[in-house]
Structure 1
Amino acid sequence: MRNSRFWQLNKPLLLLALPLLGAHLAQTGMGVVDTLMAGRLSAVDLAAVAVGTSVFAPIMLLIFGTLLATTPLVAQAAGAQQLQSLAEKVHQATWVSLVMILLGWVVMTNSYLVFNFMGVTPEVANLASGYLKALTWGLPALAFFQVLRCLCEGLNHARPVLFISLFGLVVNIPANYVLIYGKLGFPQLGAVGCGYATALSFWVMALLLSGYVHFNQRYRTFNIFSSWQAPRFKVIGHIFWIGLPIGLAIFVEASLFTTIALFIGGLGEVVVAGHQVAFNFTTLIFMVPLSLGMALTVKVGHALGSNQAALAREVAWQGVLLCSLIALLSALFMWFSAPWVVKLYSENHQVQLLAASLIQLAVLYQVSDALQVNAAGALRGYKDTRVVMVITLVAYWVLGLGGGWWLALGDNPWGPQGVKGFWYGLIIGLSFAAVLLLWRLKSTSQAAINH
């Protein structure tokens, strides 16, 4: 009976999570394609993409995370059958996105200050700065795509996002080929060409999803594009109140990984490239629990919107159980596939050996990483975001990054461990986050029932 309930609740969760996973893999695949194709040109271009991504990834996730407030708002409105309010949520989230775009533009156009501070070699820093400036052209499209994506996913309608994201990846590959290597009369731009190609893909995706929402009969009754609402600061403030802690929590987690890339920028191109290869592959694996966590946000939000708090708690915990089982399988796959996967990224034997060893270290935190991201996803469905932000800040930056720096470069009993020390810190920080977020989910879900 218990097993039947497990599948009864998790089957619709998986049906939503699978297209979310496909969309995540397609979008993450752009970074993988950039890394693979730049690495084939030179180790310097690969390092430039790695260092540039270490700045762009947390900015992108801060924008994405803040706008993720739209998903539980849409999900709860749909659960309560308040569909007439969806246009307002989309319009005001778009105004929020303008603020986030401006923030991203300022950081990305002045990235050389970050690279100089972290001691990145001048050749890599110049290329990485050019890569980021090229990417800024795609920021508006990226942000608006995320708003419309949250609308679709909050309505339990993720397939259009999947197909459009896949098409964006299809556009990215030939655009990279032309701009990186200088084909069809274009100059050879190397790492900078990756930035322009990815920006082009963002615009293609935003235009296609806008067209879908505008012309599809399912969305016409919402009047998303029939008229545009002026800023309503009370609604904008509410979106920031829910979304900014989500964005900061995701930013903190992403920056835990990417700040490591900046800290090791002075350790040589092999170390930077090896870390980037391992980070790229583990990020792909992480898309599975991340997608389940986002699906949990929608399912928990729907249950709460229809005043079924007990069902919301059951959905959340059954989803966490499913994710832990999948994480165990992922860990086994990573352990055995690491020596072969790294050969796809680089022909440099030293890069391959280092990347494989880091991937096998990542096996040790697969379950805790999956548990923490799914607990956080369920808590977003409850609109419980600020405590999550505090937990992630302490777990990732104090324990993860601080402990990792001490193990990697500090005066510790085992001696400086180099880049591996940072990955030991990840194991500590993610495990701590999993314990605290599961505890928070237990108390929040019970409080909703008692309310």
Structure 2
Amino acid sequence: MHELATIARHAGTVLAGQLAIMAFGVTDTIVAGRFSSEALAALSVASAVFVSVYVSLMGILQALLPIWAEQHGKGETTAIGASFRQSLYLALGFTLLGMVILVFPEPILTWTEVPQSMQADVRAYLMIVGWALPSAMFFRLYATLNQALGHPQLVTWLQVGALVLKVPLSIWFTFGGWGLEPQGAAGCAWATLLVDYAIAIVAIVLMRRQKLYVPLQIWQRMEAPDWQRISAFLRLGVPAGLSILVEVTSFTLVALFVARQGAMAAASHQIAANLAGVCYMVPLSLGIAISARVSWWRGAGNEAQAQKLAWLGVKIALASGLVLCSSLLLARAYIPHIYTADPHVIALTSSLLLWVALYHASDSIQCVCIFLLRCWRVTVAPLVVYCGLLWGGGLGGGYWLAYKNEATSAYWSTNPMPFWIGSGLALALVASLFVFLLHKVFQAQLADAR
């Protein structure tokens, strides 16, 4: 019960912070939807590109959590500080890569055939959030470090405070006022940029002044790049980041493909995707919490306890997934009214939420499983599974139903439903395979011990 309580506190604290960050997207979706359907459609496309880049890069840095948690379990405090300084080189390199993609998005917009009428607003949004990426990536390192140390509350308070600042700024920049012209969807991006730099600065101040970080000796002279250590980071982080890239793009690229169906379809899909993202915060928080604790026990040398906690995490993921799935099914006729007053968008969104609910039930299990697999440094196999099922089965299958199959493409020419059907079925297979893979890893470890 002690371990369950520890995990619950950690996960609950992380969840509060993740929901605050997710509320950034909810706020922008509501604000843009109230501004105009065109602004909401442009936000749908632009945020799909930004999230694909940011979450993929975030995944590379988040993959460092097991390393720092194991060092924490071993009591190697100064090694964590040295490792953190080396991670700054990793963050810098991938930040520059992400900025190039966001500031010059033309190849992506051309490939996905985003309508010309949307492209100007999309480019403006991406240009702004591209310059927010350095602060966002540093804050991700700060968050990962605190989660590995078992102190996520320091991150959560900053995330909640950021939301308090984000809401009025998004409204002001989007609608204008007090001498500022209405910015539309770009106003949400300006708000994000200002808030991201504000919390990054506060994080640096806390790392300088909080006693928690003193034993880590973070504020030492920066060493030259340790390529052996950075290579170890890359071996763990790159497959993890690519896995998240496949997972996220199988989800966000839908927004780009749906854009050709018109503003109503894009707006409805944005609301559905936003709700799916909010639900995802629950298994994400659980995955962070359980993997930190599992890695701590592995660092302490207790593999049996680590495996026991891993299976507990899978069971909790299943239970929470079923609860949220049921909640969405019961409330799907009412939720869209929060986002928009357009009756056509409301009706289409309500029908999409049926598949969003089923999608989340599988998403909950696979999310926790992939965090647990990283604790045992299993990253390549999940990447292969993602590529085959999420890209091939989910995204490819949805695209085929929507645009290539004569029997269905005419019926769903203005409806994103095929993409949700394909993704939901693909995720169910992914979740099953990940549970099986986790079981095989534990069996192999037991055989090695014998």
When normalised by structure 1's length, the TM-score is 0.96
Amino acid at match of 1:189: Q
Aligned mates of 2:167, 2:92 — CA distance in 1: 28
Asked if the contact 1:375–1:437 (Cα under 8 Å) also holds between the matched residues in 2, the reply is yes
Asked if the contact 1:313–1:446 (Cα under 8 Å) also holds between the matched residues in 2, the reply is no
Shift of 1:280: 0.3
Which deviations, in whole Å up to 9, do the C-alpha atoms of 1:188-233 show, x marking residues without a partner?
A: 2111111111011111111112211221111112121232222111
Shift of 1:157: 0.6
Provide the residue aligned with 1:398 in structure 2: 392
Provide the residue aligned with 1:4 in structure 2: none
Asked if the contact 2:99–2:131 (Cα under 8 Å) also holds between the matched residues in 1, the reply is no
Mean alpha-carbon deviation: is it higher for 201-210 or for 52-61? 201-210
Shift of 1:415: 5.3
Provide the residue aligned with 2:369 in structure 1: 375
Superposition pairs of residues 126-141 of structure 1, within 5 angstroms: 126-141=120-135
> CA, structure 1 residues 272+415, in 2 after alignment: closer, same or farther (shift >3 Å)?
closer
Aligned mates of 1:421, 1:294 — CA distance in 2: 31
The match for 1:438 among 407, 410, 435 is: 435
Which deviations, in whole Å up to 9, do the C-alpha atoms of 1:83-126 show, x marking residues without a partner?
A: 11011221111111111111111111111332233222223111
Which deviations, in whole Å up to 9, do the C-alpha atoms of 1:234-261 show, x marking residues without a partner?
A: 1111111101111111111111111111
Aligned mates of 2:422, 2:146 — CA distance in 1: 37
The match for 1:29 among 16, 23, 37 is: 23
1:13 matched to 2:40? The reply is no
Which deviations, in whole Å up to 9, do the C-alpha atoms of 1:19-61 show, x marking residues without a partner?
A: 1111111111111111111111111111111100110001111
Aligned mates of 2:408, 2:52 — CA distance in 1: 31
Aligned mates of 2:230, 2:427 — CA distance in 1: 32
Provide the residue aligned with 2:426 in structure 1: 429
Give the unaligned 5+ runs of structure 1: 1-6
The match for 1:335 among 318, 329, 342 is: 329
Asked if the contact 1:141–1:206 (Cα under 8 Å) also holds between the matched residues in 2, the reply is yes
Provide the residue aligned with 1:300 in structure 2: 294
Three-state SS of the structure 2 residue aligned to 1:221 is: helix
Provide the residue aligned with 1:198 in structure 2: 192
Amino acid at match of 2:336: V
The match for 2:95 among 88, 101, 104 is: 101
Aligned mates of 1:255, 1:89 — CA distance in 2: 30
Percent identical pairs in the alignment equals 29
Asked if the contact 1:172–1:197 (Cα under 8 Å) also holds between the matched residues in 2, the reply is yes
Aligned mates of 1:428, 1:99 — CA distance in 2: 36
The match for 1:387 among 381, 387, 393 is: 381
Amino acid at match of 1:304: R
Three-state SS of the structure 2 residue aligned to 1:339 is: coil
Asked if the contact 1:78–1:305 (Cα under 8 Å) also holds between the matched residues in 2, the reply is yes
Amino acid at match of 1:219: Y
Three-state SS of the structure 1 residue aligned to 2:217 is: coil
Shift of 1:369: 1.2
Give RMSD over aligned pairs. Answer: 1.4
Asked if the contact 2:170–2:187 (Cα under 8 Å) also holds between the matched residues in 1, the reply is yes
Superposition pairs of residues 7-406 of structure 1, within 5 angstroms: 7-406=1-400
Which deviations, in whole Å up to 9, do the C-alpha atoms of 1:301-324 show, x marking residues without a partner?
A: 111111111111110001110111
Asked if the contact 1:72–1:298 (Cα under 8 Å) also holds between the matched residues in 2, the reply is yes
Asked if the contact 2:41–2:267 (Cα under 8 Å) also holds between the matched residues in 1, the reply is yes
Asked if the contact 2:250–2:391 (Cα under 8 Å) also holds between the matched residues in 1, the reply is yes
Asked if the contact 1:72–1:154 (Cα under 8 Å) also holds between the matched residues in 2, the reply is yes
Aligned mates of 1:413, 1:13 — CA distance in 2: 49
Shift of 1:410: 2.0
Mean alpha-carbon deviation: is it higher for 255-264 or for 384-393? 384-393
Mean alpha-carbon deviation: is it higher for 16-25 or for 270-279? 16-25
Aligned mates of 1:414, 1:349 — CA distance in 2: 24
Aligned mates of 2:378, 2:294 — CA distance in 1: 12
